[in-house]
Chain A
């Protein structure tokens, strides 16, 4: 029984990460286009973004299909050309909307946690 509860909690954390990861990717692309490997590496450097690196590529593919990012090939200094991802206007709008929702959500969750901690 405890095992099931833990599994459910673990699962909801996984859901949260799943839901926010794509916006973290979009945020990463705000300043400049980046290539896939670079994005994956940066994501994994930040503690808390636990996800197999390989699963980011399907996410990038989906973002491209949804037209939130666009890709282009660029020559790389040593080796085959690299696929660069950049934010599209649609992607920028999606990111902006998310940020608003995220701030609201974060505030609400923090609020409840604070109350719990005060007791």
Chain B
């Protein structure tokens, strides 16, 4: 096998591997193995080490690595002139940042952080409109909302105390002898607040996980009719 032929094949296989980066790992391995076997068979048919030109021809006939990767995504063979995906809908960096900001953006930069998350959510091609609405409406403020609510309820809740006892006075100060106080909190009951808090947090995290798993799954891949 000529040295330069080797490196062309190596470079081709690397390109194929990269083009398949978005594919499920099993499918990727399957295709890479089959293409490797194909090249091997071609060379066996030749019966002798291929020349550089012959290697190029083999790789040309195989087609562009991107075309093969597109076929894996489509599950149907396409011509090499098929449009190259500009951005495959998947859980990429954009999507991850969107979800993170939706959840905790408001904690980092109040309101704006979450708003940026919403903008990214809607920009991304990875979700259907319904899924985007879900993310916007169920997660307003993200995890900041339960936090905010708990702070509000704590401060709204006053404590009113009744003090019992005898009042003495020495002219300057009033003293309470043998006093006792009964304090009542006017905040909503702790168990209720905790329940609401927990529900919100669970809902937020659940929606975030749902969107994370659904990224790219329900949308049509770009370039397909």
Contact = CB atoms under 8 A, between A and B. Distances in A.
A36 B38 contact: yes
Contacts of A50: 79
Interface in A11-37: 14-15, 17-18, 21-22, 36-37
Contact of A58 (B38, B72, B79, B81): B72
A21 B225 contact: no
Nearest to B27: A61
Interface stretch (B56-64, B154-162, B191-199): B56-64
Interface string B29-53: 0110011011011101000000000
B76 A18 contact: yes
Contacts of B177: none
Contacts of A22: 76
A40 B38 contact: yes
Interface stretch (A78-86, A87-95, A102-110, A111-119): A78-86
Interface string A37-57: 100100010000011111111
A55 B44 CA distance: 21
A44 B78 contact: no
B79 A57 contact: no
A32 B70 CA distance: 30
B38 A37 contact: yes
B205 interface: no
Interface string B61-78: 111110110111011111
Contact of A54 (B27, B30, B35, B44): B35
B19 to A, nearest CB: 11
A54 B81 CA distance: 14
Contact of A57 (B38, B44, B61, B225): B38
Given A15-B225, A44-B61, A62 B41 contact: no
Greatest chain A CB density within 10 A among B42, B74, B78 is at B78
B82 interface: yes
A49 to B, nearest CB: 10
A57 B42 CA distance: 15
B26 to A, nearest CB: 10
B185 interface: no
16 contacts: A14-B81, A51-B63, A52-B62, A52-B64, A54-B62, A54-B67, A54-B71, A55-B70, A57-B68, A58-B68, A58-B75, A59-B75, A61-B34, A78-B44, A80-B37, A83-B37
Given A37-B41, A51-B79, 15 more contacts: A14-B81, A18-B78, A53-B63, A54-B38, A54-B68, A55-B78, A57-B34, A58-B27, A58-B31, A58-B71, A58-B72, A58-B75, A60-B34, A79-B44, A82-B37
Interface of B: 27, 30-31, 34-35, 37-38, 40-42, 44, 61-65, 67-68, 70-72, 74-82, 225
